[in-house]
Structures are given as C-alpha cells and as structure tokens.
Structure 1
C-alpha cells in the first residue's frame, strides 16, 4: 500500500467486515480481534476488486515493503535521501541490507539496485514529459552524479537518448495538432 487511497480502501473494507484495526500502514494491518477464515476470504475478495491482495508469505511482504519504499522515495519525494539507498532501505525496514537484497533478488529475479534504476528512469521520463525541468535539473533532483550518467542509464534502459525521447513527445503532439 503506497498511496493514501489504498490505505483508505483497506480501512473501509475492514470496517465493512466489522473488524477493528489499530494501524493500517505500508503493507501491514494490525487488527484487534482474531479474524475468521470467512472474514479473511471475504476481505481478500473485496480487496482484489481494487487490485489489492492479501499477503501471508513473510518474504512477499518484505518485497512489497521494499518496492513501496523505493516507489515512494523515487516518485513521491521532493528530494531523494542523501544517504546510500541500501542504508536508507535497511533503516526503514529494520533488516540487514544483505538479507533484504538476497530475498528481493531470489523472488523478483532482479537486484534492488536494478529496481531503483528502473523507477528512476520512469521518473526521468515523467519529468521530461512535464517539460518543467531541464536534464541537468533532473539529474540533480534524482541524485545522478552527472547528466552523462543519467543519459547513459536512460539509453541503456529505454534504448533512446533523453533528448530523442523528448523529441518523440513533441512530434506526437504535433501530429495530433495536424488532425
């Protein structure tokens, strides 16, 4: 659960089932009473309508928490943390980073670092499309060591240069104006 909307949906569905909760937070719900199998099944069914799922496996829960932290860090923070990402994630979850990295790689088939890179590139695309920041400002905002580093990573992931990606956007809008 990354967004406020997801948390609101979970809270509402818990209330609809008459369940009392103490806390609804990043991938976890603390319920005051024992939950019956019928209530659990109904909650799972209701949450799936919103694209949410119940997780029982501790490893899957940890992975969802890692993903949520990264998505929130890259997409919803005004500034990325100045500390090492591994330290940031480890501190947020209270686990050793090596343990987190091993679980993530084993289950997702990619490293946490690759997941961060993919999210950063998606954020770069978003910022390029908004056209409010230039590439230098974007590289600074996302803690790239240089514009060249950002450009190389962007090309490696997308197959396009940032400037060509931006040019494609402008051409799409130009074509729409010709209709």
Structure 2
C-alpha cells in the first residue's frame, strides 16, 4: 500500500516541522517522516480531509501544495535553506549541483521554472538566504568574518562584504555595531 506524502509551503525550520507534526497528530493522522516542506504519512492515513488540513495549517502560515510545479519550487527553497542554514558539512560543492542532485531534475529546468514562478533567479534566492545566514552568525558573534565567509562558501571576505552591502546597504561590521535586529524570517526572504 502506498503512503501519502503531503507537500507543505512555508515549512522552513525545525520549529515549523514540530508544529506541522503536532497539528497532523491532532487531526488524527500519523506522520512518520517530517522534513522541510514534506510529510510522509502512515499507510493507514488513506482519507485525508485536505480542506481541514489547510484550515489548520493556514493558522500557522502553511499551505498544502497540490500542483507538481509548486512542489518543485518548495523543494528548491527547502533544499537551499537546508544547505545554507542547517548543513554542518564543510564540503564546498556548487549549490547548483547539490540542488540538482537532491531534487533529481536538470538544473537548467529548475532554474527556469523557479525564475518564471518566483520572479527571481535561484542564484538571487541563494544570495538572499546566505545574507540572512551571515546576519544570524554576526548577531551570534562567535565566528570571525573570515570564518563566516569560509563556512558559507564565499571566495573571500571581500566578496562576502560586497554582497552583504549590496543586499542590506550596510557593511557586515556596521551591521554588527548597530545591534538592531534586521534579520528576516526565512520564509519571507525574497
């Protein structure tokens, strides 16, 4: 018997996964695997009231995805977020290769689909996510800018600083000095 898979928009962090799991359990469903943007339900969950699930999810800013292209877009986003924000590996492969490998579709196709749907390129989305990660690491104040650049795969501190200023209007050191919370929620990055 085939297990049901739910694809969920805006599920971008571990807290989101906990909320989704809890809400599905409250609806009497049995989530077996909960990953960024995706839930695998137990095979006994044949009858799913998608309208009810969407009502519950809407309260938390989530949404079920039915369309295959929407699912691919969310998979791209969750893959980028996972690779930039949660990956502990120091392996420096090109993100385009890792995205293609993880999703199992040609990167050229993924790139054109993402651009047409989201209005920005995957590359721009990656830059925005990296900058959010840089902001987070600057606020934590545990790593040097050089260590942050290396961890996020920048070729140099200068490259990171230039990109940071282009996106935020501030240098990383000025951002760190002002100590204002200018970070964005991961699902609001555009």
Q: Distance in 2 between matches of 1:22 and 1:35?
A: 16
Report which of the two structures shows the higher radius of gyration computed on alpha carbons: 1
Query: What TM-score does the superposition give when structure 2 sets the normalisation length?
Result: 0.78
Secondary structure of the equivalent of 1:78? Answer: coil
Q: Distance in 1 between matches of 2:33 and 2:85?
A: 24
Query: What TM-score does the superposition give when structure 1 sets the normalisation length?
Result: 0.83
**Structure with greater contact order relative to length (CA < 8 Å, sep ≥ 6):** 2
Which one has a larger percent helix, Structure 1 or Structure 2?
1
Aligned partner of 2:81 in structure 1 is 71
What is the count of residue pairs matched by the alignment? Answer: 168
Secondary structure of the equivalent of 1:54? Answer: strand
Q: Structure 1: where are the runs of 5+ without partners? A: 171-179
CA RMSD after TM alignment: 2.1
Residue 45 in structure 1 maps to residue 55 in structure 2:
yes
Aligned partner of 2:64 in structure 1 is 54
Aligned partner of 1:101 in structure 2 is 111
Aligned partner of 2:146 in structure 1 is 136
What is the Cα deviation at residue 24 of structure 1?
A: 3.8
Question: CA-to-partner distance for each residue in 1:16-75, whole Å, 9 max, x for gaps?
Answer: 334455544343334435436xx1111110111222111111111111111111111111
What is the Cα deviation at residue 133 of structure 1?
A: 1.4
